[in-house]
Structure 1
């Protein structure tokens, strides 16, 4: 099968349909293997009693990853957790985790904050996303 890539997908639990669609895109390629370190809505981490505990739990998840994927939809601009995930990826480790910004399909408005912090910006397309993961790894 080849290399398995460890990924963290930053996403808003309120918009988890986009998260599911992104995973479906990655699953389309039979030659691409990945481990998902993301925090889905039903994960117990989601119910961490304090922001500090949630921050630490997210940092532990990102620690094992090769790359961080962030959907650059406009909702990203208003999420305090996406800001924290960007900060963790960029500043939380000795070697920063590369960030891939994914511009949502047919989106005219995107988050400048996410794009400014990205190592690469790709379109909503499985080939370009997978190629970016492989390049940044």
Structure 2
């Protein structure tokens, strides 16, 4: 059965997001992606409240919120909003899986502190992390 995932990411660093999706696909993992890619009209929201609500709508059907824990995440107000939505926006908390970027020595303390589980950048760790958080 497919897992419903919301993959948080910075549109500025969309290569990392694309790499993660490729890893999951290469591992034969069955998932539905509720993320907000750069070419999605959601990012043209007319104000922050509209964007917040649109992101909340995307996270709603997800069973896990995945956040790439690169150091850039510490400086993204939207990742902070996504953490808040996952933790406080629904009757049932959405677990957060933090992924430490490949070869990264510095990661986001904000993301790691919010995470229910932290894994390394490799297919098996990521897939087993998702499985563990959706049992």
What TM-score results when the alignment is normalised by the length of structure 1?
A: 0.97
Deviation at 1:23, TM superposition (A): 0.3
The 5 Å alignment of 1:31-50 reads: 32-50=29-47
Partner SS, residue 13 of structure 2: helix
Runs of 5+ unmatched residues, structure 1: none
Residue by residue over 1:55-74, the C-alpha shift from the partner in whole angstroms, topping out at 9 and shown as x without a partner, is 00000000000000000000
Distance 1:46 1:26 in 2: 24
2:70 matched to which residue of 1? 73
The residue that corresponds to 1:4 in the other structure is 2
Q: Indicate the residue corresponding to 2:121 in structure 1.
A: 124
Superposition TM-score, scaled by structure 2 size: 0.98
- Hey, what's the Cα distance between the residues in 1 that align with 2:34 and 2:75? 23
Unaligned residue ranges in structure 2 (runs of 5+): none
Over residues 13-55 of structure 1, what are the superposed CA-to-partner deviations in whole Å (9 max), with x where a residue is unaligned?
011000000000000112x200000000010001111100000
Counterparts of 1:77-88 in structure 2, within 5 Å, are: 77-88=74-85
Alignment match, 1:25: 23
Q: How many residues in Structure 1 have an aligned counterpart in Structure 2?
A: 134
CA RMSD of aligned residues (A): 0.5
